[in-house]
Every structure is written in structure tokens, then in C-alpha cells.
């Protein structure tokens, strides 16, 4: 693994092999612009481009580095975005002296991670949430339907999904207002209105569309990776009591559209090549358009912690992205098989990622089994769902030997809506 002349701490999420992309502003420059991160050092790619670092990349758009989102940069295509990544790795490789020894420019391009403001990295036109973890779907089916027939008849045949609300996707660190809506209390004869009492997280990964298909043009599983720019951590907050009352017959609405949280660094698909692995055997056999070849799943360790206000955090979930039944290329192929056109920056989320063991369940709904088994917190309190003042922290990384590619974290603090006013 290539080393960098930038100091990188052991077990950093952001070695030279990673080079994720994000959008920053700083105290000395309030204009949003592209950046990457190596170790704990954020690198201003707008300034680096202005110095001529990428001028030898044919066809590159200089204006894409000075933008409020990654969309224009991504739209240039993987030929250019991968060339930029390789050039960054070259410039900051341990034996490359061009920038290392030119200390006069370091203050123009380098920032401490703690000194930058990270923004929502993409302009999201459309958002689709899938439901692709077999264990999660099984757990929900056991809880709410017949345990002997936990999976609905279509689940093993199609990557089930729904269209969510893009406007309420926020960057990590944004406070989340506890949502209100209708809910039907147990034993009641009519619904009541009020704040959700069963607020939950959902541990997910999201992939970002990096190439457009025409309306009417399906994307095959063989082509799908060309259309996926990269991945990020995703918390699809869920108000279980609101959702339970509204979701029949048309599915999630107010129980889901109030907020979802996205991590600020987008890790490219290419950075994750070493962590591919085979997926589960799919029985019954899928229809031909969902068949794929090669290793379509990824070994990415995931964890969720809850931190009460002014309290000690506790890890409540440890799962893995490999626990998916349907993978990303199948999801995208299914999404477009009817001719649906995808656009640059569209976001597709995996759905809750649950494993086979109780500690790997990716939501409080499952971890506490609808509140029947509360989680004990370090301060002596218990959690059935998420309380006001709680911060949910999700982290993820892939590791093989000394090579570690991480995603940083996605966080969100629950704030009482009336208090916030």
C-alpha cells in the first residue's frame, strides 16, 4: 500500500488509498468547493486545481472544482474523476517532492479536519430506498405478520423499494426534529395527533448515481457499476408509530420523509475493489435481468452508537454491508428495467442492514424487539427507541490486512420540536 508524506494516524479511515470527495467551506473562504481528505488533513481541491495540479488531464472542467455539490465533477465521467484520484495519490505519495517541499503553499491547500465545515456533498434530485436485507425483512415480518410467512411472496423475486423524499436528506451533524403526525395508540378506537413516541434509526449504505441513462433505456447488471460513482453512510430515520398507522396500502410517508442523514465524504467504488465478495445464493433463481456475474457484495463493517446528551455513548449494533440479499447492481437494474431514467446525484439507499445475530440488527425496532427488550445505557437509563437529546452515531470501514478504507461517520441529534422553537 502506497504511503503518504502527510501524517496519517493508525487505523485512519482516510489513507492515501481512499481519496473520498466532499464539499467544504472554511472561515477564510465561505465559497463551497471540492475537497478530499488524507488522514486528518482536508485538501482544498479548488486551490490545488488553481495551482495547475490537474491541467494535464484532458477534458477536465475547471469550474467543477468550484461548486456547491459534486454533481458537475461526477458528471465528467469516471475517466476524469479516476484520473483526478490517481493524480492526488501521486502528489501526496511519500516520495513525491513537488508539493511536499513547497511548504509556502501548504497553508493555501491544507486544513485541519476540525477547521472545515462539511456540507451535503451532492445535489439529490431523486431518492430511492430499498428493502434488501433478508434478515431485516424477516424480523419485521415476524413482528407484524405471520412468523411462518415472514417474507411477502414478492420479496425473493424483486429488490423491493419505494421513492423517498430527497429534500429532507441532510448532512451529518444536522439536528433532527422529532416528527409529529397521526398515530393509533394500542387499544384506541381512533388516532391521535402528536410527536412520535417510537423514533428509530435505520443503518443503511447509500450509492450515488454518476451516469445518466435515457428515459426508456434500462441499465443492465453488467453495466450498473459504470453508473455508480460511490458510496456513503446513511441513516434513514423512521417514526415507527406514525409509519405503522399510515403505511397500508401505499407505504411509507410521514413516518419516513421528515429526515435522512448522509455522511459528508463519498467513497468511490474504485477505492473498495479489494473488499468485494460473493453474495448469498439466491433461491428461487432470479429472473434473467437480475442475474449478475462476479463478486457484487462488499465487506464493510458497520456500527451504531447512541450517545445521550452529556452522557457516555454505547455501541448498540455491529453489522456489515455484506449482509445484503440484493446487491447494488441488482437494485439499479431493477430500478431501471421499466425505463426509469436516473440522473447525476440521485441517491439509492440499501434499506436497513441487519445480520443474523441480535447485536447485528440495524434498527431499534429489531434490537429491542418492538421495545420488549430495552437496551441498558451506561448512565443507568434504558432505550426502547431514541430519546430527545440522543445522538446516533454510525461508522463504517472496510479492512483487509493493513489496508483500511473508511467512511468517517454520520451523526444526528434528536431535538424536541417544541424546545427547538
Active-site residues: which are they? 136
The burial of 153, by beta-carbon neighbours within 10 Å (0-12 exposed, 13-18 middle, 19 or more buried), is given as exposed
Radius of gyration from C-alpha coordinates of the chain: 22
C-alpha pair distances (Å), 333 with each of 75, 284, 338: 20, 18, 9
Give the DSSP per-residue string, 67-136.
SSSSHHHHHT-HHHHHHHHHHHHHHTBTT-HHHHS-GGGHHHHEEEGGGEEEE--S--S-EEEE---HHH
CA gap 21, 207 in Å, rounded:
13
Tell me the three state secondary structure of residue 313: coil
The burial of 117, by beta-carbon neighbours within 10 Å (0-12 exposed, 13-18 middle, 19 or more buried), is given as middle
CB 34 within 8 A of CB 70: yes
Measured from the Cβ of residue 158, the count of other Cβ atoms closer than 10 Å reads 14
C-alpha pair distances (Å), 339 with each of 130, 206, 212, 219: 18, 22, 12, 8
Tell me the three state secondary structure of residue 141: helix
Which residue(s) pair with 404 in the sheet?
Answer: 399
Give per-residue burial for 176-212: e unless 16+ CB within 10 Å, then b: bbbbbbebeeeeeeeeeeebbebbbbbbbbbbbbbbe
Task: Give the CA-trace dihedral at 310, 316, 320, 321, to 10 degrees.
Answer: -60
CA gap 221, 279 in Å, rounded:
14
CB 238 within 8 A of CB 268: no
Which residue(s) pair with 128 in the sheet?
Answer: 163, 348
Cell of 332: 439499479
Amino acid at each position: 500500500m502506497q504511503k503518504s508524506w502527510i501524517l496519517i494516524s493508525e487505523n485512519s479511515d482516510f489513507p492515501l488509498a481512499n481519496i473520498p470527495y466532499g464539499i467544504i467551506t472554511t472561515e477564510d473562504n465561505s465559497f463551497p468547493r471540492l475537497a478530499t481528505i488524507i488522514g486528518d488533513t482536508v485538501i482544498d481541491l479548488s486551490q490545488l486545481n488553481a495551482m495547475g495540479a490537474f491541467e494535464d488531464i484532458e477534458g477536465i472542467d475547471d469550474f467543477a472544482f468550484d461548486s456547491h455539490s459534486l454533481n458537475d465533477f461526477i458528471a465528467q465521467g469516471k475517466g476524469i474523476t479516476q484520473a483526478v484520484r490517481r493524480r492526488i495519490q501521486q502528489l501526496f505519495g511519500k516520495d513525491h517532492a513537488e508539493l511536499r517541499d513547497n511548504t509556502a503553499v501548504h497553508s493555501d491547500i491544507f486544513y485541519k479536519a476540525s477547521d472545515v465545515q462539511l456540507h451535503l456533498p451532492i445535489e439529490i434530485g431523486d431518492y430511492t430506498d430499498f428493502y434488501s436485507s433478508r434478515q431485516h425483512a424477516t424480523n419485521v415480518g415476524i413482528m407484524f405478520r405471520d412468523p411462518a410467512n415472514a417474507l411477502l411472496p414478492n420479496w425473493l423475486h424483486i429488490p423491493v423499494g419505494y421513492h423517498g423524499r430527497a429534500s429532507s436528506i441532510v448532512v451529518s451533524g444536522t439536528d433532527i426534529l422529532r416528527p409529529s403526525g397521526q398515530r393509533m395508540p394500542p387499544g384506541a378506537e381512533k388516532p391521535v395527533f402528536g410527536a412520535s413516541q417510537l423514533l428509530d434509526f435505520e443503518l443503511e449504505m447509500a450509492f450515488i448515481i454518476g451516469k445518466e441513462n435515457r428515459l426508456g433505456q434500462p441499465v443492465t447488471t453488467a453495466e450498473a457499476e459504470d453508473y455508480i460513482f460511490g458510496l456513503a453512510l446513511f441513516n434513514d430515520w423512521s417514526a415507527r408509530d406514525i409509519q405503522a398507522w399510515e403505511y397500508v396500502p401505499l407505504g411509507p410517508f410521514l413516518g419516513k420523509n421528515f429526515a435522512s442523514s448522509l455522511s459528508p465524504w463519498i467513497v468511490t467504488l474504485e477505492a473498495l475493489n479489494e473488499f468485494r465478495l460473493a453474495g448469498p445464493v439466491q433461491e428461487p433463481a432470479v429472473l434473467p435481468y437480475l442475474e449478475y456475474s462476479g463478486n457484487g457484495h462488499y465487506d464493510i463493517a458497520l456500527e451504531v452508537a447512541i450517545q445521550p446528551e452529556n452522557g457516555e455513548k454505547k455501541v448498540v449494533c455491529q453489522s456489515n454491508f455484506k449482509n445484503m440479499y440484493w446487491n447494488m447492481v441488482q437494485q439499479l437494474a431493477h430500478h431501471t428495467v421499466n425505463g426509469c431514467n436516473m440522473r447525476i446525484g440521485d441517491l439509492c439507499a440499501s434499506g436497513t442492514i441487519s445480520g443474523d445475530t441480535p447485536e447485528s440488527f440495524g434498527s431499534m425496532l429489531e434490537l429491542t424487539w418492538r421495545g420488549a427488550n430495552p437496551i441498558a445505557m451506561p448512565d443507568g437509563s434504558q432505550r426502547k427507541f431514541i430519546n430527545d437529546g440522543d445522538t446516533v452515531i454510525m461508522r463504517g470501514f472496510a479492512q483487509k490486512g493493513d489496508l483500511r478504507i473508511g467512511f468517517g461517520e454520520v451523526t444526528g441529534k434528536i431535538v424536541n420540536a417544541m424546545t427547538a422553537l
